[in-house]
Chain A
Amino acid sequence: MLGLVAAALIAINLYTDWLQPLRERLAGFVAPFYWVTGTPERVGDWAGEQWRTREELLEENSRLKRQVLLLEQRSQLLAAVKAENTQLKELMNSADTVDERVLVAQIIGISPDPLEHVLLIDKGRDDGVELGTPIMDASGLLGQVIEAGDSSSRVLLITDASHAIPVQVLRNSVRAVAEGTGDLYRLKLRHLANTSDIREGDLLLSSGLGGRFPAGYPVGEVISVQRDPGRAFAEAEVQPRGRMNRSRFVLAVIGDRNDSLGTE
């Protein structure tokens, strides 16, 4: 009897999304488990922070100051480029601009299931995170939110075997779809035309097609292309840019999609 109920639950869960609201409601119950099991790591981090010498701190401080200077200079450049871009888009009478707000979130847990690449982060609906919110770290896209609770959410990484993201090559805007492989350090481009111009070392950006991810964020770098004349399609292996396994803090990109032009 209970077996039947469980089987029914599984079926409902797999083939519909009726249970999604329930799971999101119960996220508040789930998060404490990850918080508790994450305690040793947090204590370790805290201890590491506490027992640093003055020299180390000073050195880090000056390094950060240099970095801020560099980044500020770059962001000034960017502002000019952005203004120019908006102007050009207005001239061409095209395309919406996306105004993005970024939220820093902390990873509080990783899924215990080795078959899925899912993270738990400490931000939820209360902070503006929604279903499908893109998550990235300093170097590239990590994934998207698949379950948003009130104050925590689950993030599916782009390397999960069930994930795929539309991308384009930075060099020439060739489009493709990068699929997760279940390996934390590999994505795959399947079904590339044999003649398509993709090379080793090409940087892939999110293309924004499909409407889930904003355009222009780095996804990964092509590390090898296999062209087999006997096969209908070429394949390419991609190393993701985001550090799937190492990030501690991530950024949630909360986009207010504006149809009006020229918003800053």
Chain B
Amino acid sequence: MEPNNRWFIAATVLVALLLAVMPLPHHWLWFRPAFTALLVIFWITRMPQSLGVGFAWLVGLLEDLVTGATLGTHALALAVLAYFSLLTYRRTRAFNPAQQLLWVFVLVGINQVVGNWVHSLAGKPVPGLTFLWPALTSALLWPWVAPGLSVMAGRLQVR
């Protein structure tokens, strides 16, 4: 990987982590998009040769540390997510925007399910299907996030 790439990717990870802890009114917390999940999907779909499950795992571990979640929660969830994105990156690229949106919903949903599973292991009350809201908000954010990052990455010649 060229140094240019590395810096840009690190910067996007940093921004995603910041967004992940940004203070929100208490009732909106349920709807916070899973920014790191979006980022992992984006980078893996864009450069599946150089980024993989390990990258996602590392991002997840950082997120666990920063958010104070049980260590390994996001690491596991994002690693699973990364595995599925790696399997399907060709299709994801070929999808039209609507299909992509739906697919991102499914992927982030998987991420949320794994996270939720750890939550219930930890004995925290999980009200119904509310844990899937972030999947919806993330999917709705995708049409803005992906082209935006694409343009920036293109300018910086990140391949």
Residues on A facing B (Cβ under 8 Å) = 2-3, 5-10, 12-14, 19, 23, 26, 29-30, 33-34, 36-38, 41, 109-116, 118, 147, 154, 161-162, 182, 184, 245
Q: Which residues of A contact B80 (CB under 8 A)?
A: 3
Q: Which residues of A contact B22 (CB under 8 A)?
A: 37, 112
Residue ID in chain B nearest A31 by CB atoms: B66
Question: How many contacting A-B pairs (Cβ < 8 A)?
Answer: 92
Residue B68 interfacial (CB < 8 Å):
yes
Closest 6 CB pairs of A and B: A9-B72, A114-B29, A6-B76, A10-B72, A6-B75, A6-B72
Residue B118 interfacial (CB < 8 Å):
yes
Residue ID in chain B nearest A8 by CB atoms: B72
Cβ 8 A contact of B118, one of A10, A110, A118, A184:
A10
Residue ID in chain B nearest A2 by CB atoms: B57
Q: Give the segment of B13-21, B42-50, B87-95, B143-151 that binds chain A.
A: B13-21
The complex places the Cα of A184 from the Cα of B71 at a distance, in Å, of: 25
Q: Which residues of A contact B29 (CB under 8 A)?
A: 112-114
Is the CB–CB distance between B121 and A14 below 8 Å? yes
Is the CB–CB distance between B124 and A115 below 8 Å? yes
The complex places the Cα of A260 from the Cα of B23 at a distance, in Å, of: 45
Q: Which residues of A contact B24 (CB under 8 A)?
A: 112
Residue B3 interfacial (CB < 8 Å):
no
Residue ID in chain B nearest A30 by CB atoms: B66
Residue ID in chain B nearest A9 by CB atoms: B72
Is the CB–CB distance between A37 and B21 below 8 Å? yes
Residue B73 interfacial (CB < 8 Å):
yes
Identify which of residues 48-83 in chain B touch chain A, using a CB-to-CB cut-off of 8 Å. 53-54, 57, 60-61, 65-73, 75-76, 79-80
How many interface residues does B have (CB within 8 Å)? 37
Q: A112-B32, A114-B30, A184-B26 given as contacts; is B79 within 8 A of A3 (CB)? A: yes
Which one of A7, A8, A36, A37 has the greatest number of beta carbons of chain B within 10 Å?
A37
A100 to chain B, nearest CB (A): 28
Residue ID in chain A nearest B121 by CB atoms: A14
Q: Which residues of B contact A6 (CB under 8 A)?
A: 57, 60-61, 72, 75-76, 79
Residue ID in chain B nearest A116 by CB atoms: B124
The complex places the Cα of A113 from the Cα of B65 at a distance, in Å, of: 13
The complex places the Cα of A182 from the Cα of B71 at a distance, in Å, of: 21
Q: Which residues of B contact A38 (CB under 8 A)?
A: 23
Is the CB–CB distance between B70 and A115 below 8 Å? no
Which one of B17, B22, B54, B80 has the greatest number of beta carbons of chain A within 10 Å?
B22
Which one of A2, A23, A38 has the greatest number of beta carbons of chain B within 10 Å?
A2
Is the CB–CB distance between A109 and B23 below 8 Å? yes
Is the CB–CB distance between A3 and B76 below 8 Å? yes
Residue B128 interfacial (CB < 8 Å):
no
Cβ 8 A contact of A23, one of B60, B65, B125:
B65
The complex places the Cα of A12 from the Cα of B124 at a distance, in Å, of: 17
Residue B123 interfacial (CB < 8 Å):
yes
Q: A37-B21, A37-B22, A37-B23 given as contacts; is B72 within 8 A of A112 (CB)? A: no
The complex places the Cα of A19 from the Cα of B79 at a distance, in Å, of: 21
Q: A9-B72, A115-B124, A115-B126 given as contacts; is B57 within 8 A of A33 (CB)? A: no
Is the CB–CB distance between A2 and B71 below 8 Å? no
Is the CB–CB distance between A182 and B125 below 8 Å? yes
Is the CB–CB distance between B119 and A115 below 8 Å? yes
Q: A9-B72, A10-B72, A23-B71 given as contacts; is B20 within 8 A of A112 (CB)? A: yes
Q: Which residues of B contact A154 (CB under 8 A)?
A: 68
Q: A36-B18, A112-B20 given as contacts; is B72 within 8 A of A7 (CB)? A: yes
The complex places the Cα of A67 from the Cα of B94 at a distance, in Å, of: 69
Cβ 8 A contact of B69, one of A5, A8, A37, A113:
A113
